[in-house]
Chain A
Amino acid sequence: MFKIKSELKKAEVPMRDAYCNTLMQMAEKDERIVALDADLISSSGMKPFFAKFPERAIQCGIAEANMIGIAAGLSLTGKVPFAHSFGPFASRRVCDQIFISAAYANLNIRILGSDPGVTAAYNGGTHMPFEDMGVLRSIPGITLIEPCDPVAVADIVSQLSDVYGVYYMRMARKSSIAVYEPGSTFEIGKGNLLRNGTDVTIIASGIMVAESLKAAAALEADGVSARVVDLFTWKPIDTELIVDCAEKTGAIVTAENHNIFGGLGSAVAEAVTQNCPVPMEFVGVTDRFGQVGTEDFLRAEYGLTAENVAAAAKRAIERK
């Protein structure tokens, strides 16, 4: 069960603190939890974990492929490894290790890729993954998650000790908008219907959830009633909810901080076209590389704004 904030404001806790605190609580109770990092503890916010559980914290250095392989091996001995690097280096750079050593070998690992898309800001194009989820989505059985705020991070991560398989989560390290009230709970594989509406559905994850809520409010002022769904699990996808949205609202917009080719929109479109075809519009990065800039500059540059989402919603409705 979840409850959303009545007003959208900056979260008090950075996402990475929620991540580290949750993992520490889990590690207290569960001996199997192991953390791995690739010379980015200072960035991932995992310093407290590394200080508290030195025997269960592995500094791998700048060697991400090796780290993923080690995580896979650790899981073979019953450990539950959580490995971190920046998004691109935790996904595309280690794709074959995730594929072979973890997924194909049917092992049990968790990967955190930090600073998805434009949240990589000043680190620029080499560090700005618009493709991480897309690259990984064709790995059979993998679970892909993008939470939107620290409440979601804490609840979702706390569920990752007893599940089995390969889990990849992308998450901004620093500030986010607080979308959920504390105590909200999340079911991996199920989307959250944040706002009801009848004319169109906006399906989003990560930073685009707050933008979509803003868009829905703006649409309401224009007499358009929009549903908003937080689809924090990209895979396995919540087909049931997507089909319901298509049936009830007759038009769908997806909004993602990712390339629209192979991203959330593509995944939703697969569910829509096979079950209940309705007009769709895609808000996201249109097959471009990242670059340096402030997050605000980049959001505007790639069109990841509430205005764009609202405009796309109107286009989708017109096409009904």
Chain B
Amino acid sequence: MERSIRARELTAFAEEIRVETLKTLGYAGFGHIGGAMSIVEVVAALYGEFMRIDPSRPDWPDRDKLVLSKGHAGPTLYAVLALKGYFPRMMLRELNVGGGHLPSHVDRNKTPGIDMTAGSLGQGISAAIGIAMGDRMSGRDSRTYVIVGDGELDEGQNWEGFMFAYAHKIDNLVCFVDKNLQQLDGYTKDVLDTGDIAAKLKAFGWYTQEIDGHDMGAIIKAIKSANSTKGVPSAIVLDTKKGHGCTFAEGVLSNHHMNFTPEQMEEAMKAANERLEAARRALAE
């Protein structure tokens, strides 16, 4: 595959995030590993390229914002925030520690750089719309990104939000759907068949693209296209694999929340570090 230098750089950044995410989950010994792994690439593109941020000023009003509506994927965000310098990497040891800064589900009051609290699925889209509208009202050119799970789309509130954002022409908003085809109890098609998500979003009036969510080149292209779209909100459906890049989680049906042994994690870390090395070699070529 022909890939731009930027795509290769961001791929290496993604692999670095993957390694840090695994390390973070490793400290706890359990966690929502599947859904954390599937969003690594999009998070890398956002924080590595697209989002206007200043890690020294997490509450800078003019920043771009991210709502991680599937808040259980917090560890991925914690990893990227640490890598960007929002807080020391040592803090990643606090995942799920009582009284610590990194709860299982993202919490804006606990972690520097987390823009919105989530964990009760289905609520992020509305908050993201509110943020995007507020910035627009204030004359700020900030953009808001929101990541929702495909299982999460079961919640009706998402569809209220989709209707609303179209009706109000919220075009400073991009919604990513992490279509990893699995939710908690199993495959999304068995739990509650979502049908063709992209077609539904299109029918709701959104500018909708569907891409390989682990292909950095495709992600960059899609976000650029979304960000230059005027008059309608944008959706990017990411075809992903739950547990992607984690040896003991990928391809496993019950990989939503896992307990793992130190040996399993060691093996996964080894493989993830090899991915990182390969991505770095590709950069040098």
Contacts and interface: CB of A to CB of B under 8 A. Distances in A.
A and B are interacting partners: yes
Interface of A: 37, 39-43, 59-63, 65-66, 88-89, 93, 122-127, 291-294, 297-298, 301
Interface in B140-190: 151-152, 154-156, 183-185, 190
Given A39-B151, A61-B183, A62-B152, A124 B104 contact: yes
Given A59-B191, A60-B154, 20 more contacts: A37-B185, A39-B183, A39-B185, A39-B191, A40-B185, A42-B256, A61-B183, A62-B121, A62-B152, A62-B155, A62-B192, A63-B192, A122-B96, A125-B119, A127-B120, A291-B99, A291-B103, A293-B99, A298-B98, A301-B98
B105 A43 contact: no
Given A42-B184, A43-B184, A292 B103 contact: yes
A118 B122 CA distance: 23
A91 to B, nearest CB: 12
Contacts of B122: 62
Contacts of B282: none
A219 to B, nearest CB: 29
A119 B241 CA distance: 31
B154 A39 contact: yes
B48 to A, nearest CB: 28
Which secondary structure dominates where chain B touches chain A?
A: loop
Contact of A63 (B103, B154, B185): B154
Contacts of A93: 120
A69 to B, nearest CB: 10
B97 A293 contact: yes
A292 to B, nearest CB: 4
A60 B192 contact: yes
B71 interface: yes
A125 B103 contact: yes
B19 interface: no
A88 B120 CA distance: 9
Interface string B101-121: 001110100000000011111
A131 to B, nearest CB: 13
B264 interface: no
Nearest to B190: A59
A63 B155 contact: yes
Contacts of B119: 123-127
A41 B120 CA distance: 17
A291 B71 contact: no
Contacts of A61: 151, 154, 183, 191-192
Contacts of B105: 123-127
A314 to B, nearest CB: 28
20 contacts: A39-B183, A39-B184, A39-B185, A60-B192, A61-B151, A61-B191, A62-B121, A62-B151, A62-B152, A62-B154, A63-B192, A65-B156, A123-B105, A124-B107, A124-B119, A125-B103, A126-B118, A126-B120, A297-B98, A297-B99
The 3 lowest CB-CB distance pairs between A and B, nearest first, are: A293-B98, A61-B192, A126-B119
A241 B168 CA distance: 58
Given A126-B118, A292-B103, A292-B104, A42 B185 contact: yes
B273 to A, nearest CB: 27
B169 to A, nearest CB: 28
Contacts of B254: 42
A66 B184 contact: no
A62 B100 CA distance: 29
A42 B98 CA distance: 25
A66 B98 contact: no
A125 B107 contact: yes
